Amino acid sequence: MTSAIEYGKSYKIPSYSIIRTKLIPDSRKEVDEYVAVDKKSWALTGCTLMSDIWSDMKHRSIINIVAYSPGGAVMMNSFEVSKEKKTGMYLRDILVSVIDDIGPENIVQFITDNASNFESSGDMLMGRYPHLYKTRCAAHGIQLLLKDIYVEIEWLQKVIDDAKLIIMFMYKHTILLSLMREHTNNRELKHPCTTRFASNFKMVESVINVEDELRMFVASSTWRGLDYTKQTMGKQVTKIIQDSEFWKQGNEDEGIFLIYKYCDHNVEHVASNFSPCERNWSAWEAGQTKKRNRLAPQMLDTFVYVSMNTMMMDKFNMLEARDIEPIDLDNLNELPDYFDHDQDEDDNVSDPTEPEDLSWLDAIEDGV
């Protein structure tokens, strides 16, 4: 144990000078080699241009543009557009600058989300580059579809909201969380991801999988003796867990959840190859923190470029090392007869130990 504690103690954090003059430039050399090989393949296979817009924790809007091909994915550029009106023409101009940099002849198609401004920019790009194909993001479309189903189906909405309340309550209090883990044998409940509505279904599934354990926990004297469970929110959670109708409707045999499991498996299988465009670009966000950032703007851009393309390079190398089943165009619409229900697909689900802001729950506990 002593050796484990002492391990790494002598590590010295690199200075600003070493980061700027050695670490980042050395890392860039490796990334540039990967990017050069990837770009070289574009003349033969072409590439797909993908764009995505997201907001960081400070509500700054950033557009990412990624080029994807059989050789891997490359982050071409990121643009902060917080102060700009994100009209179709503005997005078109951004995409045109990247397309001209790559070379229009090397691009086969571009994929965007289903927002109207991206749709408009896509139409204008097709007018400028007639050989390009415009494709809507299938994963984004499924997310919107599932959200529409949630809005329209009342019982489904109640199941998801009740499951969310259970999880928020369990993870709000450290003591309660520890006791829950004892009863579930350390099986965690999954928090939904705000940018992936389908994660709400995974959240419900994680609750259903520990139905017996949660029922026993709520029925125990330990639960009844906690002050938390005597408050308004605690009483609501107790009622939900003891409600047989909640478990019946949330069971995976319900048609809507069965549809989700089939859709999610196939869409996520395809979308995983395009995930670099929708990752949380934490390197950019961390680098833009004024308190921490001491890198000059140009070096900061290099840092973000290296970080993101390193992530993509590692992802590509990992996929290369695995036996990937090729896409069968003749049977593209057929669903596979097998599913790996034990496979962990948590890439798009936030860490259960780091829930979102729970301040809104205080109002419930106070009976507001």
The residues spanned by each domain of the chain are: 144-261
Give me the amino acid identity at 157.
Q
> Does residue 167 sit in helix, strand or coil?
helix
Exposure of 89 by Cβ count < 10 A (0-12 exposed, 13-18 middle, 19+ buried)?
exposed
Q: What is the per-residue pLDDT for 105?
A: 93
pLDDT tens track for 166-179: 999 999 989 999 99
Q: What is the DSSP letter of 193?
A: B
Mean pLDDT, residues 276-283? 48
Question: Does the pLDDT of residue 106 top 90, yes or no?
Answer: yes
Q: What is the DSSP letter of 195?
A: T
Cα–Cα nearest to 98, from 67, 119, 127, 124: 67
Bridge partners for 67 per DSSP: 49, 74
Q: How confident is the model at residue 345 (pLDDT cuts 50, 70, 90)?
A: very low
Cα–Cα nearest to 180, from 223, 151, 146, 117: 223
Q: How confident is the model at residue 25 (pLDDT cuts 50, 70, 90)?
A: confident
Mean pLDDT, residues 194-204? 81
Helix axes of 199-208 and 255-271: crossing angle, nearest 10 degrees: 130
Q: What is the per-residue pLDDT for 335?
A: 40
- With contact defined as beta carbons under 8 Å apart, do 152 and 119 qualify? no
Question: Does the pLDDT of residue 282 top 70, yes or no?
Answer: no
- With contact defined as beta carbons under 8 Å apart, do 53 and 62 qualify? yes
Q: What is the per-residue pLDDT for 82?
A: 75
pLDDT tens track for 60-74: 777 888 898 888 888
Report the range of poorest mean pLDDT among 107-121, 141-155, 274-288: 274-288
Q: How confident is the model at residue 321 (pLDDT cuts 50, 70, 90)?
A: low
Residue with tokens 């179709």: 88
Q: What is the mean pLDDT of the chain?
A: 75
Q: What is the distance in angstroms between the CA of the first residue and the CA of the last residue of the chain?
A: 49
DSSP labels for 39-103? Answer: HHHHHHH-EEEEEEEEE-TT--EEEEEEEEETTEEEEEEEEE-TTS---HHHHHHHHHHHHHHH-
Q: What is the per-residue pLDDT for 4?
A: 56
Q: What is the per-residue pLDDT for 61?
A: 78
Top-confidence residue, 291 or 195: 195
Q: How confident is the model at residue 120 (pLDDT cuts 50, 70, 90)?
A: confident
Question: Does the pLDDT of residue 124 top 80, yes or no?
Answer: yes
Cα–Cα nearest to 269, from 336, 192, 318: 336
Q: What is the per-residue pLDDT for 33?
A: 87
Give me the amino acid identity at 255.
G
Mean pLDDT, residues 137-148? 81
- With contact defined as beta carbons under 8 Å apart, do 256 and 156 qualify? yes
Q: How confident is the model at residue 346 (pLDDT cuts 50, 70, 90)?
A: very low
Cα–Cα nearest to 37, from 250, 260, 296, 317: 317
Q: Which residues contact 77 (CB under 8 A, 6 or more apart)?
A: 65, 98
